Amino acid sequence: MKLSVICPIYNEEKYIVPFLNTVLQQDFPQDDMEILLVDGMSGDRTRQIISQYIVDYPFLRLLDNPERTAPCAMNVGIKEAVGDVIIRLDAHALYPSNYFSTLVDSLYELNADNIGCVLNTDVLNKTPKTLAIREVLSNRFGVGNSSFRTGVSSACEVDTVPFGCWRREVFQKYGLYDKRLVRNQDIELNKRIKRGGGHIFIIPNISCTYLARETFKALAKNNYGNGKWNILTVYYTKYFNSLSLRHFIPLAFVLSLLLPVLLMPLNVWFGVLALMALCAYLIALGSVSLAIWKAKRLNVFYLLMSFLTLHLSYGWGSLMGIFKVIGLKIKSK
């Protein structure tokens, strides 16, 4: 059985060495696998570093992705892959040595169409600020209740998993990644599989570790994009259930603050509603942050800022996504 592992990359100089080291420590036979690193024409030292590794590890391959988006990178990799099983990786993550072998074994044992595991969150550089960001990105109040973040005690069916492991024929049956989707392409593919009667499982016996952004600016930029592409994903796919309800909660939060303020000239009570919504959020925010401080002694200010940055940037991104869709509809007329 041959395994093809695909990883979209772009300007990963900071992360590529620890990522490759965990890949090279896998217990899956190297003679039976290929690692396809699909690069969006990086402008830093990513390509040079990979080229040095290829000299010693010829099962590593560097492919070009001139379109520079993750779904296009995955499609390039899938078309080049020779394996019976395909695994997707992210260069911002670290993987245990039995990651490949456990996913492949579980894929066949469960007769799954896609399989994944719990995603832990960590940071490369540990400071009071980055530790607060890490905690917020692991907390239900920050990222919701998706199973791959909160964990499971036994293998179970879910609506999506991080990254993924598929038999090759899954892509022949359900199609490749939707190249229009700069974000959410994994979620959309999984929803497509589920709509077609496929089965997606998460397993509890392994986990991988995602390396989060370490500044508020980077956190805001990433989640603004996530929020914006929630709306654009629904627009391009024409399926509201291409995503889950939890993806739109930050938008509802932002709207609960903005709409009453905008409507306040019509009736002062709308302003009262906005104030009530803000107070309710701030009480919840303070309660959660103090509970984390009490349990883990993390910096309360950084916790507050991390939650606020995450929620507001995500919700604002979704709102801008709505305006983007309105613009696209006007343009198409």
Burial of 190 (0-12, 13-18, 19+ CB in 10 A): buried
- The answer to whether 253 and 315 have CB atoms below 8 angstroms apart is yes
- Residue spans per domain, the chain: 3-214, 240-332
State what percent of residues in the chain have pLDDT above 90.
79
- The model's pLDDT over 290-333, given as tens digits with 9 standing for 90+, comes to 999 999 999 999 999 999 999 999 999 999 999 999 999 898 87
- The model's pLDDT over 234-268, given as tens digits with 9 standing for 90+, comes to 999 888 776 777 788 899 889 888 887 777 777 77
pLDDT at 127 over 80: yes
State what percent of residues in the chain have pLDDT above 70.
99
- The answer to whether 214 and 136 have CB atoms below 8 angstroms apart is no
Residue whose entry in the numeric block shows the structure tokens 């919504």: 277
CA–CA distance, 188 with 70 (Å, rounded to integer): 13
Nearest to 111 by CA among 208, 15, 199, 28: 199
Q: What is the pLDDT of residue 125?
A: 93
Residue whose entry in the numeric block shows the structure tokens 């690193």: 37
Q: Which residues contact 33 (CB under 8 A, 6 or more apart)?
A: 2, 3, 4, 5, 26, 59, 83, 100
CA–CA distance, 271 with 265 (Å, rounded to integer): 9
Residue whose entry in the numeric block shows the structure tokens 């490759």: 20
- The answer to whether 44 and 67 have CB atoms below 8 angstroms apart is no
pLDDT at 38 over 80: yes
**According to the CATH classification, is domain 3-214 in 3.40.50.970?**
no
- The answer to whether 170 and 113 have CB atoms below 8 angstroms apart is yes
**Does the predicted model carry a pTM greater than 0.85?**
yes
Res. 222 pLDDT band, cuts 50 70 90: very high
The H-or-E segment that residue 280 falls in is helix 268-296
- The answer to whether 140 and 198 have CB atoms below 8 angstroms apart is no
* DSSP-assigned states of every residue in 85-117: EEEE--TTEE--TTHHHHHHHHHHHTT-SEEEE
Strands 200-211 and 156-157: antiparallel
For the chain, what is the mean pLDDT?
Answer: 93
- The answer to whether 35 and 5 have CB atoms below 8 angstroms apart is yes
